[in-house]
């Protein structure tokens, strides 16, 4: 990496998601959010001062919205 940096090519260690969360916490950020009974989720890094996000929802279960999506696709196809 040092050789690449010396000739003007930016390079650095490839970190893991755990590394990113650890860095965010050390910087005073809140990288994760509680979502009820689900495991902690990675929080959206964008914040809005006038309309802050106050609650987070768990992601849908696998296949949870299949029927609704299929109905929507059938309706769109009929148009």
Does residue 8 fall inside a structural domain? yes
Q: Against a cut of 0.85, is the pTM above it?
A: no
Does residue 73 fall inside a structural domain? no
Domains in the chain, number: 1
35-73 burial, b for 16+ CB within 10 Å, e for fewer?
eeeeeeeebeeeeeeeeeeeebeeeeeeeeeeeeeeeee
Does residue 79 fall inside a structural domain? no
Q: Residue 29 CB: number of other CB atoms within 10 A?
A: 13
Give percent above pLDDT 70 in the chain: 100
More confident residue, 7 or 13: 7
Mean pLDDT, the chain, whole residue set: 88
């Amino acid at each position: 990496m040092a050789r690449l940096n010396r000739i003007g090519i930016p390079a650095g260690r490839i970190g893991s998601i755990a590394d990113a969360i650890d860095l965010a916490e050390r910087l005073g950020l809140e990288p994760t959010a509680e979502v009820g009974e689900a495991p902690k989720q990675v929080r959206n890094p964008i914040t809005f001062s006038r309309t802050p996000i106050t609650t987070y929802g768990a992601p849908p279960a696998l296949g949870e919205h299949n029927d609704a999506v299929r109905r929507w696709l059938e309706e769109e196809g009929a148009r």
